[in-house]
Amino acid sequence: MKVRNFGLLMPVSSLPSGEGIGTLGKEAYAFVDFLHGSGASIWQVLPLNPTNYGDSPYQSCSSDALNYYFIDLDMLIADGLLKREEIYIEKLADCESRVNYGKQFIEKIALLKTAFSRFKRGKEFNSFVKEGKYGDFAVFMALKTKFGHVAWTQWEEPYRTYNAETVEKFVKDNMEDVLFWQFTQYIFLRQWNKLKAYSNSRGVKIMGDIPLYVAYDSVEVWKYGDKLFKMDARRVPEGVAGCPPDGFTEDGQLWGNPVYDFEKMRESGYEWWRNRIAYCFGLYDILRIDHFRGFDRFWEVPAGDKTARGGSWKDGPKEELFEGMLHLDIVAEDLGVIDDGVKRLMKNVGFPGMKILEFAFDGSKDNEHKPSNYTENFVCYTGTHDNMPIRQYVDDLDDSALEVYKKDLLEECELAGVTADLTDSVSICKTVVELAFASAARTVIIPLWDLLALGGEARMNLPSTVSEKNWSRRFVKSDFSNDLQSWLKKLSLINNRA
């Protein structure tokens, strides 16, 4: 990413589709064409991991498995594995604009099992299974199914405690169930690799996203326990992840993920992490690492605490983990509590950090998110998947805060040579997008909801909440108009962004 460029943030789940959720089918290819026609060279997606409780891709049952909900059913029809009359769209979706994950769980998995029953297993699939990359995930999911999808902590013994001999016998006795989950990964990769190859052929790179933590109810915790995480031999955590109190949350954020035992990981040269990053570069061209500050220091909360207030900072592996990786196209999500240690880590690794324009216009001249205060080695966003859309943010400001916001925005536009329109929240949103393009940042990423100047109804996630509105927002074909594409193309040419 050495040239000025731009891209769009569009979760796969949010793509238009007749299947109740975005898939790797024709609308994904149409979106790549839209990007190409607009001059964009990056498609940023959210994590592709299977979703778990709360439907969050950041709380997955596996760090490397792939979300079978994204498998395109039309492509399975073309493969002769499904019949058109077997797919009832009303069973998969409530409406165009939201994912119903409950329906996906019931109907999509049933359809995939039908496809698997017709799948002819050849050398390629057998080699895929033998390679074993997704073997642990397949066993974990087969066991989850056996025990009614409850967390592994509620499974019966001897399965609750990982044991190689027990797993081997389970696989032998339940081979078809285990192979089904291998099939979901095989088909996903077959569809994904075709889509990525097409995207690359159109000059569009895919930026993936890797969560820092894994869920407690995950194959990694079940299998590895205290070998990777700060927990005892019974897999009871000593501490869990979160964020300290700040101006927005007086109790901090209690995420609850198990934290890594980086001292133990160091003994193997951080092999698990290095393998994980290498695997991601087999899927993506660029990799965004979420909560990057956790590699310098992370906030550890004693297990059992009800809030994050009682936590404390613990040292992470710092740049040692990234030795030999500094040439990779990695974007470091360096938001949150940024102290001298994080700044030192960012300088030493050289990865571009992130600047968020939604945070920029607060009246402070020293605000690091103001375009006039940063240089080119950054990725400039209007907002992220965790922020409210710009339009909603502006609409929610009281009169005095809005005046400060508009005054700051106007000054930044004048410095950047952007003509500001501050008539209403829609115009302000458009102006913020244009300011992002004009900024010094080498790369600009615009979330779809900000590009379309949508309000609170389009918010992707409200952190620390569980809601059917989180992670479910979808877009429709009409959102990708010729006028929108032409505007982006104009901005890319004016601002010399490929």
| DSSP line for 196-212 | HHHHHHTT-EEEEEE-S
The CA distance from 122 to 177, in Å, is: 18
Name the 3-class secondary structure at 268: coil
d(CA 229, CA 261): 5
Dist CA 267 CA 245 (whole Å): 33
| DSSP letter (8 states) at residue 38 | H
DSSP code per residue over 311-380: -EEEE--GGGGGTT-TTS-EEE---SS--HHHHHHHHHH---EEEEGGGT-SS-TT-TTSGGG--SSEEE
437: Cα within 13 Å, side-chain hemisphere: 26
- The pair phi, psi for residue 296, each rounded to 5°, is -85, -65
Residue entry with tokens 């030999």: 324
Mark whether 315 is an active-site residue.
no
Give the whole-angstrom CA distance, residue 439 versus residue 156.
57
Contact 7, 44 (CB under 8 A): yes
Structure-token pair, residue 224: 């590895």
As a whole number of angstroms, the distance between CA 312 and CA 478 comes to: 48
Residue 288, beta-bridge partner list? 209, 331
Residue 408 annotated in active site? no
Q: CA–CA separation, 89 vs 45, rounded Å?
A: 25
DSSP codes joined into one string, 60-85: -S-SS---GGGS-HHHHHHTTSS-GG
Amino acid, res. 297:
R
Catalytic residue selected from 333, 334, 412, 434:
333
Strand ranges across the sheet with 42-44? 330-332, 286-289, 205-210, 42-44, 5-9, 443-447, 378-381, 353-356
Has 290 been annotated as catalytic?
yes
Residue with tokens 């592994």: 152
Catalytic residue among 220, 290, 296, 434: 290
Q: 13: which 2 tokens?
A: 């789940």
Structure tokens at 3: 């040239």
Q: What are phi and psi of 24, to 5 degrees?
A: -90, 25
- The residue annotated as part of the active site, out of 96, 251, 386, 411, is 386
Cα angle value 327/330/336 (rounded, 5°): 135
| DSSP labels, 222-250 | HHHGGGTBSB-TT--BSEEEEE---SS-T
Would you name the residues annotated as active-site residues? 290, 333, 386
